[in-house]
Amino acid sequence: MKLISAESVITSAGRVGDAVLVDGGRIVQVGARGELLRSDMAEERYPGSCIIPGLRDAHIHVVPYAGLLSGCSLKAATSIDDLVGRLADFARRRSMDESVVATRFDDESLAERRLPTRIDLDRAVPNRPAVIYRYCGHIAVANSMALAASGITEHTADPEGGTIDRDETGLPTGVLRETAAGLIGPALSRGGTLDPDALVSALEGLASMGITSVGAMIGYGESPSEKLEAEIELWRTIARRLPIRVHGMVITDSPDRLEWAADVLSTSGPRLRWLGVKRFADGSLGGHTAAMREPFADVDGLGTYRLTAADESIARRSVEMGGVAAIHAIGDRAVSGVLDTFERLIADGAEPAALRMEHVSIIDPPLLERFARLGVTAVIQPAFLASENQWVTARVGPEREAWVYPFRSMQQLGIPMAGSSDCPVEPPHPLWGMAAAIDRYGITPTEALDPLTALDLFTVGGARTLREPPPLSVGSPADLVILDVDPSAGSARTIRDAVVLDTYVDGDVVEVDRSLPTWVD
């Protein structure tokens, strides 16, 4: 038995003491140090610091995040020429027998304010296949060799739920939207073959940010089935080395693969388990593929609506298996369609707590009220505001700006919420997500959350949607974090700049190498 003590213990309920008593990796009691400490008891003392519950990221793509740390991010590119130069430099440092894969380009940050094309990528990588992914993950751009290797020609039909951009002669431009990105061959799909040690190292990096549990999306976006199977095998390989808890959300529309994945994830190690299935109703706001009821304000289009009967069928199967069903919805048309789906599932006996909508980016007051009546969960990403604040008003128009990430309205209506990053779309640091929920980067300040509610998103709310016990409750795993500041008393800036001193999982400090990178931009 040991005591972990600090200046204070802060949960979303406020200050609950200054010490946590732990035995056998479980919480025995939270309260006053003077009442809990005994003379023969070991103590870990953190004077002037603060204990908070372990932080949860309910929606993160861990394998692509791990790949990013040793890969190529194009987020900082400022022009097409700059992007081409960065990609060419990365390609020169890779073996000639490897395809070139890069991530996180942002056309909104390029001087030309346009998507790259195969012609641009051919300048950077003319002699082997190359593909880059927009930071939202919903648009890929392939060079000519990658298109040829994947059999994508002027005769290739658009897949359901996706489009192949074409020039005036009908030839593919290299831009592949939504499900069309899945046409890229398995050897070119993002993530590639990741060294197991690199994945463990990335998880330790997450622990250094205070993360003790994640909802890991497994099978990135439009990955072909072979990629899903390889990723499941990777998780199985490291299952007994996990420094934090991993709850797997499998991206598939196949009941057989879902059942196989659930079995592997739930039997490989004590900190790895299957949680449910993840599907898509639309694309991204930044890529103009979010499904909207009315056209975007800056282009004439309604986005891409992807929800089908197959998505409802696999969601139902996941719930029948005892798991959860998560459906990505960003635009208001997608939000409405997913609520329709959830209504039918609930009518057939699904528990509302087993249903979660990912992102919920554009939602008007009537849809909010409908959401609240159903009692389903919103898994939100406050950090999206960090990337979108410069253009989101132009994208949706001033009339709909109040519908963008209305966190406070959700809270007031009693909608269950959980916080996440959707990394590598955004950095995985939960403290940055909390800060964004508080200051919103200036977007609709009336929808800001107070610090304790922001903490709740990444602790109680995250634990609830990951089906974990309430954090720091008696008998729950001793997962907690030591911060150098009290997050309940600080500003968004103070929280954003806070330092994680130690992270405990099962009552033990997670040993991390703080010299390793945890983010690349």
- Domain-embedded: residue 268: no
- Domain-embedded: residue 243: no
- Domain-embedded: residue 183: yes
Among 162, 188, 214, give the residue marking a domain's end. Answer: 188
Burial 437-452 (b: 16+ CB within 10 A, else e): bbbbbebbeebbbebe
Q: Say whether 296 sits in a helix, a strand or coil.
A: coil
Among 188, 221, 256, give the residue marking a domain's end. Answer: 188
Q: Are residues 45 and 105 in the same domain?
A: no
Predicted TM-score of the model (pTM): 0.96
Q: Are residues 40 and 100 in the same domain?
A: no
Q: Are residues 389 and 359 in the same domain?
A: yes
Q: Are residues 175 and 112 in the same domain?
A: yes
Q: Which of 308, 303, 305 is nearest to 253 (CA)?
A: 308
Q: Are residues 456 and 481 in the same domain?
A: no
**Residues 521, 517: Cα–Cα separation, whole Å:** 11
Q: Which of 115, 114, 87, 92 is nearest to 103 (CA)?
A: 87
Q: Are residues 43 and 184 in the same domain?
A: no
Q: Are residues 385 and 351 in the same domain?
A: yes
Q: Are residues 124 and 184 in the same domain?
A: yes
Here the CATH number for the domain that contains residue 488 is 2.30.40.10
Instruction: Classify residue 154 as exposed, middle or buried by CB count within 10 Å of its CB (0-12, 13-18, 19+).
Output: exposed
- Domain-embedded: residue 274: no
- How far is CA 249 from each of CA 275, 281, 287, 301, 495, rounded to the nearest angstrom? 6, 16, 24, 31, 29
- How far is CA 314 from each of CA 232, 250, 273, rounded to the nearest angstrom? 18, 11, 19
- Domain-embedded: residue 103: yes
What's the pLDDT at 222? Answer: 44
Q: Are residues 357 and 457 in the same domain?
A: yes
- Domain-embedded: residue 238: no
Q: Tokens 């916080």 appear where? A: 419
Here the tokens at position 427 are 């950095």
Domain count, the chain: 3
- Give the pLDDT of the chain (521 residues) as one tens digit per residue: 999 999 999 999 999 999 999 999 999 999 999 999 999 999 999 999 999 999 999 999 999 999 999 899 999 999 999 999 999 999 999 989 889 999 999 999 999 999 999 999 999 999 999 999 999 999 999 999 999 999 999 999 999 999 999 999 999 999 999 999 989 875 565 444 689 999 999 999 999 999 999 999 998 654 444 578 889 999 999 999 999 999 999 999 999 999 999 999 999 999 999 999 999 999 999 999 999 999 999 999 999 999 999 999 999 999 999 999 999 999 999 999 999 999 999 999 999 999 999 999 999 999 999 999 999 999 999 999 999 999 999 999 999 999 999 999 999 999 999 999 999 999 999 999 999 999 999 999 999 999 999 999 999 999 999 999 999 999 999 999 999 999 999 899 999 999 999 999 999 999 999 999 999 98
Neighbours of 372 (CB within 10 A): 17
Beta bridge partners of 520: none
Beta bridge partners of 359: 329
Q: Are residues 453 and 486 in the same domain?
A: no
Here the tokens at position 46 are 């953190």
Give me the domain span that covers residue 107: 72-188
Q: Are residues 27 and 122 in the same domain?
A: no
Amino acid at 362: I
- Domain-embedded: residue 66: no
Cβ(50)–Cβ(495) below 8 Å: no
What is the DSSP code string of 71-123?
A: S-B-TT--SHHHHHHHHHHHHHTS-TTS-EEEEEE-GGGSTT-S---HHHHHH
Q: Are residues 343 and 489 in the same domain?
A: no
